[in-house]
Chain A
């Protein structure tokens, strides 16, 4: 945690209301996100109890499993969830744009993509589990399920995997997203409670964040946002209702379970849309659109895979797949960090405090300075910046700057408050700098040891060439005979 974020928490604690950690929003927010709040039966890995889902704040769809231990009811739940989610997902595949690429075939990319918003990381994990427990099912054979069930499973798996990708906004968890933008006067552990976090950020009129957060800890006022339910509710309300349903299997008894879980879900449903409203009120950071574009591309390509009849995602990555994914994630992480800092002076301030970035005023510049002789002569402008930030960078460090995104500089020397830089990239061709490319004396500038640049993917063997030391080539996923009928009890 940076000193800045720590200070923000102190200020929140002292003032009783949350403090900004960001001046802009760092995730994409869809015009029509789908909110999903899953509940599971306590003690079970992936037994859905209920879900509230939908794109319209005023018309949530409530799905309930009146006896969560009943396999058929579970699959009926999955089919019902598919009925809500699949049309939403499919509706976004229709409108596309043609993307031209240098040196490659142009391709079609969906203009928009689905966005799933869940309350917390636990719910995101549950989405993954639900995907895992449904994607291998089959629509025919002895354990046939509705054809929409395995399809839903593959989409849920896609969302779940994409959620681990830095900067992706296809599946957002409300608590994580809110805490990335606001600091509360409580601990990160307590921020995991959505009601309490939202209480700090947006207390009801006449109350303080601290008071609202305290109230949020009473499960009778604010039921947990799931996927776990309140043990007291389980014992006093849910267990008798499920027992009654088990005994009679009547509509009336099913309605009783429904009413019980509705009481637990409705407060969170409203809270979710409040959270979305809070995020929507922040202006989008500059990098959001580019990252969402990558999300759209990933969505488009997964939709194509499904259309082509690709098998469900394997249970585990092979060695090459895992290594490639790790490398991809690391690059995405570095570039996401850099983009956020470039888009948001408050995020950049965290790096300035640790000495990895600095702001200051240009005191002198040599825009047309060159190095080398003859054909090797290169433009290498020098810029000297006066800063009071505690710069901790070694000579030779590559620096980027939010003011001129494509540009790169190299640190030459630090003398007292004066930092000298050499611009090495993005200042124009030939031996004359493009007008405006080199900052002039008097200009406020910021430089940071953060680079957001495309790096070619790490060279890894193709999956079929996985060395034996890493388990050899992964077997093609052959849906095994027992997968569709794998128990789900």
Chain B
């Protein structure tokens, strides 16, 4: 495929994606959402909905299965307060931490607020400003030792621009850029809650990728963005921040793979029935005008791959779980169970193999033998 064809093809895809979304603007992706893209990469439903920029939360609500996610106002307040503390007086506290962690020389430390361009700038303008200043820094090393606050980066997600706001970009002596992430979960005696630390690393990887992409577009070496992000968290039980380097190479690789898949979402989309749409255009009363049953049929037209992990990562989880329950899918019980069942897809099939009422298919002989044995033991012992 030559370049023009590729471009044309992409535009066709975009057009199609727009139709899938209907008459509502695409939902912008933030870093958290992008990081979550990698959570269930095998799910076509999610890939299509995300690629089209569909509001999954609103979709789930309209389907009658609102997402179970909420954030406590206490957590939000605490997060904001901690970030404010770290950034107080021109990031004074952050500079102190970076001096210790990265050897930032005192004399060179400086602070530039990239958000400070007057008026009420559009994302596009703010991004252009970030781009210009970071380009200059990368070109002539000007501003070594500078912390860039409120940068705005951009990443293409399946043809859409997602604007991303890392907490701070630190530009070091020697021409290296570091992403700085400020999180309010505590690190106690050197340990944080593993799932929170993992989520922070995934999110930081999104920023690293966006910054690398930008440098590359500007003709710089993307290798100048450090794989080690600086994670700033409160230490122990105090509010005092502490910084640590976190290597996000693995998260970066996962993310790249998933983004590449999403650009290939075209093949998934091509296979969908023509005229399919997940339109949520509001009626006069502000709620989506479309009958929920119709939307349900549309969502069902794209295959899902439910796993219990969806319950913490995807807005559609209750809908997909209900669907999986209707199909008696063994996915409901989790990966471990499914693996122990040798991948047998439905509860009925597995129980049939276990009680012998069902003949094993090809390649199922071994698991059928085990299940029959287990069934016999279970009947004997429980």
Contacts of B369 in A (CB 8 A): 390
B3-11, B262-270, B278-286, B333-341 - the one binding chain A: B333-341
Cβ-defined partner of A45 (8 Å) among B186, B336, B339, B377: B186
Interface residues of B, count at CB 8 A: 52
**Distance between B129 CB and nearest chain A CB, rounded to angstroms:** 32
Q: Mark B69-93, 1 if CB is under 8 A from A, else 0.
A: 0111111111100000000000000
| Chain B residue at smallest Cβ distance from A352 | B377
A8 to B73, CA, bound (A): 41
Judge whether B339 and A1 touch: CB under 8 Å: yes
A interface residue count range (under 10 / 10 to 19 / 20 to 34 / 35 or more) = 35 or more
Q: Does the CB pair A229–B381 fall under 8 Å?
A: no
Q: For B347, what are the chain A residues with a Cβ–Cβ distance below 8 Å? A: 10, 13-14
Tell yes or no: B123 within 8 A of A by CB: no
Once the chains bind, are B382 and A3 in contact (CB under 8 Å)? no
With A1-B340, A6-B341, A235-B73 as contacts: A189 and B334 at CB distance below 8 Å = yes
**Nearest-neighbor residue (CB-CB) of A359 within chain B:** B377
Task: Check A461 for interface membership: any CB of B closer than 8 A.
Answer: no
Closest to A230 in B: B70
Contact B334 A45 (CB under 8 A): no
Determine the distance from Cα of A44 to Cα of B238 in the docked complex, in whole angstroms. 10
B120 on the A face (CB < 8 A): no
**A375-418 to B contact mask, C-beta < 8 Å, 1/0:** 00000000000000110000000000000000000000000000
Q: How far is the CB of B191 from chain A (nearest CB, A)?
A: 10
Bound-state CA distance A60–B77 (Å) is 32
Interfacial chain A residues near B328, Cβ < 8 Å: 13
Q: Check B240 for interface membership: any CB of A closer than 8 A.
A: yes
CA distance A71 to B360 in the complex (A): 65
In the complex, the answer to whether B78 meets A316 with C-beta atoms within 8 Å is no
Closest residue of chain A to B375, judged by CB? Answer: A7
Q: Is the CB–CB distance between B308 and A189 below 8 Å?
A: yes
Bitwise, B287-330 to A at CB < 8 A (1) or not (0) is 00000000000000000000011011000000000000000101
Residues of B within 8 A of A7 (CB): 350, 354, 371, 374-375, 378
Interfacial chain A residues near B186, Cβ < 8 Å: 44-46
CB pair A349–B333 under 8 Å, yes or no, is no
A43 touches B76 (CB 8 A): yes
What 0/1 readout, one digit per residue, does chain A (1-40) give for beta carbons within 8 Å of chain B? 1111111111101100001100100000000000000000
Interface flag for B258 (CB, 8 Å):
no
Q: Answer yes or no: A487 CB below 8 A from chain B CBs.
A: yes
CB distance B71 to A186 under 8 Å? no
Smallest CB separation, B310 vs chain A (Å): 10
Q: Which residue of B lies closest to A238 (CB)?
A: B74
Check B334–A23 contact: CB distance below 8 A. no
Task: Say whether B382 contacts A43, CB under 8 Å.
Answer: no
CA distance A292 to B338 in the complex (A): 36
The answer, yes or no, to whether A217 is at the interface (CB within 8 Å) is yes
Give the residues in chain B near A253, CB-CB below 8 Å.
none
Q: Is A390 a contact partner of B373 (Cβ separation < 8 A)?
A: yes
Inter-chain contact A486/B236, CB cutoff 8 Å: yes
Chain A residues lying within 8 Å of B238, measured Cβ to Cβ, are: 486-489
A3 near B381 (CB under 8 angstroms)? no
Once the chains are docked, how many angstroms separate the CA of A197 from the CA of B52? 38
Question: Quick one: which of A8, A42, A44, A188 contacts B334, CB cutoff 8 A?
Answer: A188
Jot down 11 A-B pairs with beta carbons below 8 A, ordered by A. A6-B337, A23-B381, A43-B72, A43-B74, A43-B75, A43-B78, A187-B332, A187-B333, A346-B381, A353-B377, A486-B238
